[in-house]
């Protein structure tokens, strides 16, 4: 079923239609929450807030961007709000470092790569990191610009600079 029909059905109270809208974007929204909060527990809390907000405020979805773009903006805001409420902006990767399974050496390299990427992402300015994550999550430059409420060319520069810095950080 096309997205506008699913939205209309969900607005009419059809939970299955909302589930069909939510499923494709859930993993990306979790990724945004995880990278912004820095740990799984907070990311899951922010993701739950995102899903609840998307359901409650579905009538505000105007269709100017995709449903995914709208949800990712909510996820970004939910993660920021969670950190603000807790009064701390945790360093990315610190909580995850203790979660590495020591008894599974086959995954050690993968975990190390993930922690390295999180540390590299943490070096980016927040606006560059958010733009990069939203873009990497599948949004177009125009959709990221709408979410961040800045011109498209600004988003292109932020993403370019973020990618360049990540390359440098990961090469070290």
What pLDDT was estimated at residue 112? 56
> The whole model's pTM is what?
0.61
Q: Domain of 161?
A: 103-172
Both 115 and 59 in one domain: the answer is no
The residue among 105, 43, 53, 55 whose CA lies nearest residue 79 is 43
Q: In degrees, to the nearest 5, what angle opens at C-alpha 141 toward C-alphas 88 and 122? A: 25
What pLDDT was estimated at residue 53? 93
The residue among 111, 22, 106 whose CA lies nearest residue 70 is 22
Both 109 and 64 in one domain: the answer is no
Assess whether pLDDT exceeds 90 at residue 153.
Answer: yes
Mean pLDDT of 100-110: 45
Q: State the CATH number of the domain containing residue 133.
A: 1.10.10.10
The pair of structure tokens assigned to 43 is: 């990311």
What pLDDT was estimated at residue 93? 42
Q: Give per-residue burial for 43-69: e unless 16+ CB within 10 Å, then b.
A: bebbbebbbebbeeebeebeeebbbbb
């Amino acid at each position: 079923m096309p997205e506008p029909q699913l939205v209309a059905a969900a607005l009419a109270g059809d939970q299955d239609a909302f589930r069909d809208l939510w499923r494709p974007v859930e993993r990306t929204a979790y990724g945004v929450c995880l990278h912004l909060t820095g740990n799984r527990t907070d990311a899951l809390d922010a993701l739950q807030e995102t899903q609840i907000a998307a359901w409650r405020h579905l009538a505000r979805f105007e269709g100017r961007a995709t449903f995914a773009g709208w949800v990712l903006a909510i996820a970004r805001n939910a993660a920021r709000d969670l950190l603000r409420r807790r009064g701390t902006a945790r360093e990315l990767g610190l909580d995850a470092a203790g979660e590495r399974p020591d008894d599974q050496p086959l995954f050690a390299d993968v975990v190390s790569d993930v922690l390295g990427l999180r540390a590299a992402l943490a070096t980016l300015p927040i606006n560059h990191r958010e733009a990069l994550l939203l873009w990497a999550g599948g949004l177009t430059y125009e959709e990221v610009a709408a979410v961040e409420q800045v011109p498209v060319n600004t988003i292109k520069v932020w993403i370019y600079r973020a990618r360049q810095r990540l390359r440098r950080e990961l090469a070290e």
